Structure formats: structure tokens, C-alpha cells
Amino acid sequence: MKKDLTPKERMAIERVKMPEQDPGRRIGNFEEVNRGLTEELAMREAQRCLLCKSRPCVAGCPVRVRIPEFIAALAVGDLPEAARILLADNTLPAVCGRVCPQETQCEQICVRGAKGDPVAIGYLERFVADWALAHPDKLHGEERPSPTGHKVSIVGSGPAGLTMAGELARKGHAVTLFEALHDTGGVLRYGIPEFRLPKRIVDIEVERLKDLGVEIECNVVVGKTVALDELREEFDAVFIGNGAGLPVMLNIDGENLKGVYSANEYLTRVNLMAAWRDDMPTPIIRGKRVAVIGGGNTAMDAVRTSRRLGAERSIILYRRTEKEMPARIEESHHAKEEGIEFILLAAPLEILGDENGWVKGLLCQRMELGEPDASGRRRPVPIEDDTFVLEVDVVVNAIGTRANPLLTATAPELKLNKWGNIETDENGATNLPGVFAGGDIVRGGATVILAMGDGKSGSKRIGDYLGGEKATYPTRPA
């Protein structure tokens, strides 16, 4: 293969299409939709990168992956080198390559996007990460750093906690990770479905952390099993990354009917507890007509899950238009291919029940867009006397999550904002010496990659703290 392509030759290559499982087939299974690129497709796509000097993509990445470098190595077929670069910058590349909203990050500002399609950075990241998972023997060995003698505990094994654990372990700190559920991964395990992120990927990424010496203890609910103060006594620093695990309720009539789920419950039953498998005891109501309320990635995950559980009609009900939907474009695109109906500019008014307490319908209000609100999106306004009823037997509420107060309620000295999220400085330091936080417990419901970004930037701050700054703090809060 010719190694030195001219810019013109690079410009002439068309953006690769991700091989996908056929929509008609995939609604009958939970296997991954995106099949991944072949080596040939990946190398060709890598050659589309102009290796420009300005490198805007790197600044667009919350964990600052050296994107042009790994792509350049891939373009010439040096996979061990591409993997070395990627793994050094990103603790969970096989996860990010699947669930990151690249279209609003690295790919949005790719120079090639100005005239045509940007480089498919996400697909390439996934390809290199999957290659690395499949060829551990061909990877450049990681040197185990000498131990620093510092002990750090991490609360929550979701994307923020896992990233933090990897970064700190690579610096030689002794890391203990506490997880409340019986398995690791947080939202990667209980929230994101198998068809978008196979759980074996999470398993392998977690194993890699264990190989780095990270201790993981499940079934520890910090705030209940152990108090934050106990961790502060036992460890030199604590990082809180316990997520935004509290569903926002609809607060409409009929919410307690049988057949109404929060997205957290619905997805946890299916993902963590494997209710989709016939050989598992976990029950779930498999509706024939399912309405999912919300327009984010969680709503898409829930509605596409309902289809795979056998729903004949699966509906997204969203109060604004598709333009304002927070879901990744790929998710809503995949949902439509799978026959999901989108009912836009409509909001739930009441869940209707039958005489036995089961859901039988959803009374909805038509909306129109008014003036922009604080988020800059146009505010949905009800259209008077314009309501309709959807006949459904399962309703899933995916309007959002808030900070779970389980830990913070038992640590009254920890400073929170008015929504109950932990307040930190830009590097993740809380008001308590030696206590850091990141991910959704700080941001509210955000994304996997932003949580990972917090884990990465926070690890530098913790490193500084352990490296000397700690000495200037009292060992216990005044």
C-alpha cells in the first residue's frame, strides 16, 4: 500500500459506512448493532485524515486523545503503535468508540467536516480498541510504576471511577474501588444495553484495571456500608463518582400503575439482571405497545429495548422537536430503522389504568415551541384543548435523573449546589481536603465521556494533592 498520499488523494476517499446488523434481524436479538470495521476499511478511513497542523479534534475530546497520531499509525497499518497511543490517553477506548457523541465533539470540528464528511474518528477508535482487546500479546508492554505509598479510594465504578482508577494506578498509587451494586461498570453495566455496548467489553476493561493492581470491592454502599469519613481516615484521598442515580418522577396521575417503569428500573432489569434472557429469573413486563417518555440516549436505549422484548408498537414521546433531542444522531437513526415511532411536540398528562391497576393508555398534550429557555432551546408550550390518548400497556419514564442523596446526606459538611450535586472547582476538588468528585454526581445527568474526562483531569489534581499539597492541609477537617 502506498504510504504517502497527497492531500488531494486523501480528500478523494469517501467516508466509510459502519457495517450494521440488518434492522429486521436485529430487533429479534440483543447482539451489537454496529459490527465494526474491517482492517482494510479502517486503514482506508484513516487515510482520509489530513494530519492537519491545527488538530482541532484533540481539543474536542474530553480526555484529549492524540487522535491524529493514532490515526497516522493506523493509516500505515502499525496497529501496536496506534493501540499504544490510544490506550495511553484513554482508559476505556472500546467503550468510547461505541458510546461517545463524536458528532458534537472531535468529529464536529474535524477540518474535513468543513467540506464534506469528517473523519470517522469514533469508528477508528473502536477498531483500534477492539484490535487491542483481541491481541493483548501484540501490545507494547506497560511498565508497572513503582508504588508511591499513597492510598486512594474511589466511590463508584462507572466511567468516572474506572478512568480515575486507571490513571491513578498507572502513577503507582494504591487504588481501591467501591461499587454499590453486585457488578462493576455503573451505567455501562446497568444502563447501556448489550446491543450498543456488549458487557464483555466492560468485563475486559475492568480486568485490565485489576491487572494494574486496582482492588475492586462490590456491594459497598458508601454512605450506608461505610461512611465518607471512614474512607477519609483510611485513605489519603477519596474520589466520589457515584453518578446521578435518582430518577426524576413525572409527578402525574397514574404513575404508580403496574406497567409504569423508570428508565433506570427498566434498563437495570434488562441489562444488569439480564431479564431479556429466557434462562434468567428476572421478571419484566413485555408490553405490546410501549411509550417511552423523553428524547435522550436513555430514552432511545429503553425504546429500542422494548422493541427487542417483542413490542409491536414502540413509541418515543418527546415534548420538543427532533432538532432539540439530546440523543446521539446515530441512536435516533438506528431507532427509526427499527420501526420506532417518534411522536414529537407532545407531553404526558396522565397515565390511564384499567380496573385491575394496569396501564391501558397515556393521555398526551400537544405542544408548540415558544421562546428559548435558559438552555437556549425553544421552550415547549401546551396548545390549549389539544390532547390525545395513546393506547399503551407499558410506559417508561426517561425524562432524566438527579443526584442520588444516599452518600451526600450522610456527609453534611460536603458542599452541594441547589440541585444536590457536589460542588467542585474546575479540577474536581470539593470543599473538603482530600475529597474529590466528578461525573454525574457533579454535572447532573451528562455523558460517559464527560464523566471520563472528569476522571482523567481529576486524577492529575489528586496526583498534585498527594505529591505535596496534602502536607499543607490539616489531616482532618477543622
Q: What is the DSSP string of 5-56?
A: --HHHHHHSPPPPPPB--HHHHTT--S-SB----HHHHHHHHTT----SS-H
Stretch touching other proteins by CB under 8 A, among 86-94, 115-123, 207-215, 249-257: 249-257
- Beta strands across the sheet bearing 260-262: 260-262, 394-397, 289-293, 313-317, 341-343
User: Chain-centre distance of CA 247, in angstroms?
Assistant: 16
Q: Is 405 in the site for other proteins (CB under 8 A)?
A: yes
Query: How many Å is the Cα radius of gyration of the chain?
Result: 23
Q: Which residue shows C-alpha cell 477508528?
A: 124
Note whether 18 binds other proteins by CB under 8 A.
no
Q: Residue 214 and residue 134: Cα distance in Å, rounded?
A: 22
Q: By C-beta, is 186 or 433 nearer to other proteins? A: 186
**Selection from 8, 14, 5, 6 nearest residue 119 by Cα:** 14
Least distance between other proteins and beta carbon 356 (Å): 8
Does residue 261 interact with other proteins by CB under 8 A?
A: yes
The answer to the question of residue 215 lying near other proteins (CB under 8 A) is no
List 20, 78, 103, 265, residue binding other proteins (CB under 8 A): 265
CB atoms < 10 A from the CB of 447, how many?
A: 23
DSSP letters for 265-308: HHHHHHTTS-TTSTTS-------SEEEEE--SHHHHHHHHHHHH
Within residues 184-203, the interface with other proteins by CB under 8 A covers none
Q: Which of 90, 184, 264, 306 binds other proteins (CB under 8 A)?
A: 264
User: Looking at 221-229, 366-374, 412-420, 454-462, which segment touches other proteins (CB under 8 A)?
Assistant: 221-229
Is residue 219 a contact residue for other proteins (CB under 8 A)? yes
Kindly state whether residue 282 participates in binding other proteins, applying the rule CB under 8 A.
yes
Regarding 280 and contact with other proteins (CB under 8 A), the answer is yes
Minimum distance from CB of 185 to other proteins (Å)?
14
Residue 358 CB, nearest approach to other proteins (Å): 9
The site map against other proteins for 81-120 (x = CB under 8 A) is ----------------------------------------
Dist CA 147 CA 387 (whole Å): 64
Task: Please report, for the chain, how many H helices and E strands are present, in that order.
Answer: 18, 15
Give the residues lining the site for other proteins (CB under 8 A).
180-182, 218-221, 224-227, 245-247, 249, 255-256, 258-259, 261-262, 264-265, 268-269, 273-274, 279-283, 285, 357, 404-406
